[in-house]
Amino acid sequence: WIVFLGVDEDSRAENVTPLLLESLEKKMLPLGLSALSVLMPEGSRLEQLTSSGFQVRHSLRYLERQMPVQRRELDLLKEVGGKMLPRHLWSNVAGMKREKQLLEERLVAPLAQQDLADKFGVVPPRAVMLFGPPGTGKTTFAKAVASRLDWPFVEVFPSRLSGGTAGMAASLREIFEHIGQLENAVVFIDEVEEIASQRRGDPPSPTQGVTNELLKLVADFRDREGLLLICATNFIRALDAAFLRHGRFDYVLPIGLPDEEARRAIWQRYVPSVIAQDVDFDQLVQRSKGLTPADIEYAARRTSQEALARALRPDGDGIDETSAKISTEHYLSALAVTRATVSNDEHESFLEDIESLARL
C-alpha cells in the first residue's frame, strides 16, 4: 500500500521534512518498507534530502489521474445499475468516421474540454437523440461516449419500470432523482419510443403520463452540469413531436449501417486469426454491404459453428480437422442465407428521416 504525507509550506524551512522522513522510516522499516519517495515542487532546494541519502531520479515524471467515481458515489451508482466502462471502447469502434466525428465534436469535446468550449461560446450538450435502423450500433456509440469521457454509464430500461402507467412515471422520476446525485454520468435510454410515443387526444394513450413525466425530466436534466442524457430509437417517427423540438434535445443524430472500414473491422474480429491470412476480406466486405454489425456477426459465427460440426462428423474415427477448414467460400455461403435486418425500404426511410428530422 502507498501513503502520501505532506509537509506544511511554512514548516519546510524549519528542517521538518528530513526529520519527518527519518522518523517515518524508523516506524515503517519493521513493516517491510522498501523505499521512500519524495515529490518536490519545481525549483525546490534538495540539499537537505540528498544529504540524507535520497537520490534524484532525473528520468522520472510524475503523473496522476483523478478517479472517475468517488467513494461516496459507489453505493449510489450500484443502486441505479450504473458502471464504469473500459476506456478503450471509443477506439474499438472502427470505421463510421462521420458518426464518430459528429459525436466527438458535438458531445465529447465540449464536455471534456469545457474551457475550450467556453472560449468559442459552445454550450456543452445535455441531451442527445440517436436514431437509426435496428442493430446499427446506437448502444455501442452511447457506451463509447461514456468510455471516452470516463464517466459512469447508467442505462434506464423502459421495460423494467414497474407499477402500471402511474407507477411507471413515479419509478422513472425516482431513478432520475438518484442519478441526479452523481457528479458525472452518461444516462442512456434505449428504445425510448416505448415511453415517448405520440400522445393522442381523447381518451389519452396509456403511456401519456409517462411521456409527460419524461418531458419534464428532460427539461430538469438540462439544468444539471456533468450529466448527459442519450436516448436512442429505431422509430423516430413514432416519437411525440415535443421530443424533437428545439430546447429538448441538443442534437438528433443518425446512426446508419456500417461503412466499408467498419465492416472490415467486424469481419476481422470474428474470423479466427489462424485462417485470417487465407480469407478474402475485400470480398466479404463487399458482399456484406447493407448488413448490420449483428448480421455480420451471425454469418461469421454460423460459419465457425458449421466448421465445428464438420469436424465432429468425420468419415472415419476421431476428429477430422482437414474437412473443417474454413475458407472464404464458407463465409460467402453463410452470407447467402443471412437475412438482412434492415430492408431496402427501411433504409430509404432512414435516409428520408435524416433529411427531415436530423439536427446535426
> Among residues 258, 266, 257, 278, which one has the least CA distance to residue 348?
257
> Among residues 138, 141, 106, 142, which one has the least CA distance to residue 124?
106
For residue 185, the cross-strand partners are 227
pLDDT given at position 42: 79
pLDDT given at position 295: 95
Question: Helix, strand or coil for residue 129?
Answer: strand
pLDDT given at position 30: 79
pLDDT given at position 83: 92
DSSP secondary structure letter of residue 108: I
Instruction: Give the chain's domains with CATH numbers.
Output: 1-64 (no CATH), 71-257+350-357 (3.40.50.300), 260-341 (1.10.8.60)
Which positions of the chain have pLDDT values less than 50? none
pLDDT given at position 205: 64
pLDDT given at position 272: 92
pLDDT given at position 50: 82
